Amino acid sequence: MDLDFTLRPGAGLPVSAHRRLREAGPVVWSDSLGGWLVSSYDGVREVLSDVARFTSAGTPVAEVFGNQGMLVNDTPLHHTIRAVWARQVSAAAMAARAAELEGYAAQVLEAVRPRLEAGERVDFIAVFRAFVMAFVAGSFAVPPERVGVFERWSRLSADTPAIEMAEGSEARQRHFAARQDVFDLVHEQMAERRARFDRGEDPQDFIALMVAATGPTGTSGGAITESIAADNLFNFILGAFDTTEKWLGNITAKLYADRGLLADVSADRSLIAPFNEEVMRCECVVQTIQRRVKCDGVMLAGQAMKQGDPVFVLIGAANRDPARFADADRFDPHRPALPHFGFGAGFHHCLGLHIVRLEARIFVNALLDTFPDLRIADMDYGDSWALWGPRTLEMELNAL
């Protein structure tokens, strides 16, 4: 079966592609992609949960993040890395930072009020980005004027994914030059934290926690080297940007495109969290991720796979599997809560899950308070639906 990730102008998320996949079977071979397409809920759960048979190593994304990064590392090192930040990203720790996030949301929304009230259209992707950047600067204790280095790489990564760039192309060179800028800043910040520890200080930001876990005296017993620390700081910082922006974009687009939904959520703010989750289920940001088969003889849904075979895990299709979700293509914020794959599953489930959920809930609540009557003026989702979310989302005050 063929699957085309390009998006035609004016096209939305191609739900028809999900339906064709289900009709073809839970696991089918794609000649065009040269790999297996896994679209059922049970199949996706099995692939994501079984690192003994399916690995992230050797996939195109591993080139960007590095095999030492927790996003792609399938060894016990993954758990060692996660443990460094586990307490600081817990639900309780994030709840304690709610007021801080509320302040960031109010700040970025008030900053665009004069433009909106003057009749301008405002691209809210920049507003989402400013909100996320404020949190990153606070969590990683990076000077706000330097956070733009992270944002620039994230934007290039979203606009020109490394897996789509030809070897030696100018776009690829720009991409990896910006990536190197991030690593340079990460190493600079790590050296600064180490110097502070040497002076007897005890910084507790996310960079400092990783630095404290490195080397022969680190809390990991030396398992985390300098390069491993840098790779995983890079992973964590990137994870805070683009997917959060796109989720906020999908939420805002859904909310302000339907005046009935907008009225319901505005009147009952307890609906914000389930509304956000339903957006992630129906229009999840990461529509597909890739794995490789680790050994010959692997069977999945009756299909025999060979070592090295690419496996395209179609999260967006699994989240609309009617065998798991009743009337799966219908958007329903009142739907009984069932686990979806918008934040991954198994070994590589999202480390920042509690962060991003709190960010989304707080931002939407602040948005409704600050601008209850916005309208969508224009939006553009780019030319691919593999990573789903608006690249631009122009909003304006609704005419009375």
Distances 177 to 151, 153, 184, 380 between C-alpha atoms, Å:
14, 9, 11, 27
Distances 344 to 16, 220, 301 between C-alpha atoms, Å:
23, 26, 20
Our measurement of the distance from residue 178's CA atom to the centroid of its chain's CA atoms, rounded to an integer in Å, reads: 19
Cβ–Cβ under 8 Å, residues 47 and 54: yes
- Give the confidence band of 166 by pLDDT, cuts at 50, 70, 90: low
pLDDT at 62: 77
Instruction: Give domain status of residue 10, yes or no.
Output: no
- Cross-strand pairs, 298: 305
Q: Which of 123-127, 159-163, 208-212, 371-375 has the lowest mean pLDDT?
A: 159-163
- Give the confidence band of 73 by pLDDT, cuts at 50, 70, 90: confident
Distances 84 to 77, 99, 210 between C-alpha atoms, Å:
11, 24, 6
pLDDT at position 286 over 50: yes
The string of pLDDT tens digits covering residues 12-56 is 888 888 888 888 999 999 998 999 999 999 999 999 999 999 998
Q: Domain containing 295: what range?
A: 15-395
Does residue 220 or residue 93 have the better pLDDT? 93
User: What is the biggest distance separating any 2 CA atoms in the chain, rounded to whole angstroms?
Assistant: 65
Instruction: Give domain status of residue 317, yes or no.
Output: yes
Instruction: Give domain status of residue 328, yes or no.
Output: yes
- Give the confidence band of 388 by pLDDT, cuts at 50, 70, 90: very high
pLDDT above 70 covers what percent of the chain? 93
Instruction: Give domain status of residue 6, yes or no.
Output: no
Q: What is the CATH number of the domain that holds 265?
A: 1.10.630.10
**What is the average pLDDT across 188-217?**
91
Our measurement of the distance from residue 87's CA atom to the centroid of its chain's CA atoms, rounded to an integer in Å, reads: 20
Distances 145 to 125, 239, 241 between C-alpha atoms, Å:
19, 20, 16
- Cross-strand pairs, 397: 374
Instruction: Give domain status of residue 350, yes or no.
Output: yes
pLDDT at 158: 59
The HSE-up count of residue 219 (CA atoms within 13 Å, CB side) is 13
Cβ–Cβ under 8 Å, residues 312 and 36: yes
Instruction: Give domain status of residue 130, yes or no.
Output: yes
Residue with tokens 């707080």: 362
Q: Give CA–CA dist 355/333, Å, rounded.
A: 21
Q: Give CA–CA dist 300/314, Å, rounded.
A: 14
Cβ–Cβ under 8 Å, residues 286 and 243: yes
pLDDT at 220: 47
pLDDT at position 284 over 80: yes
The residue among 133, 127, 93, 125 whose CA lies nearest residue 113 is 127
Instruction: Give domain status of residue 370, yes or no.
Output: yes
Cβ–Cβ under 8 Å, residues 262 and 256: yes
Distances 80 to 202, 305, 365, 388 between C-alpha atoms, Å:
21, 31, 35, 31
Does residue 346 or residue 110 have the better pLDDT? 110
For residue 291 the two structure tokens come to: 């794995």
Provide φ and ψ at 284, rounded to 5°.
-65, 150
Q: Give CA–CA dist 36/313, Å, rounded.
A: 8
The string of pLDDT tens digits covering residues 335-387 is 998 999 999 998 888 999 999 999 999 999 999 999 998 999 999 998 889 88
Residues 6+ apart with CB under 8 A from 256: 262, 374, 375, 376, 395
**What is the average pLDDT across 294-316?**
96
Please tell me the total count of domains within the chain: 1
Instruction: Give domain status of residue 270, yes or no.
Output: yes
The string of pLDDT tens digits covering residues 225-269 is 999 999 999 888 877 788 899 999 999 999 999 999 999 999 999
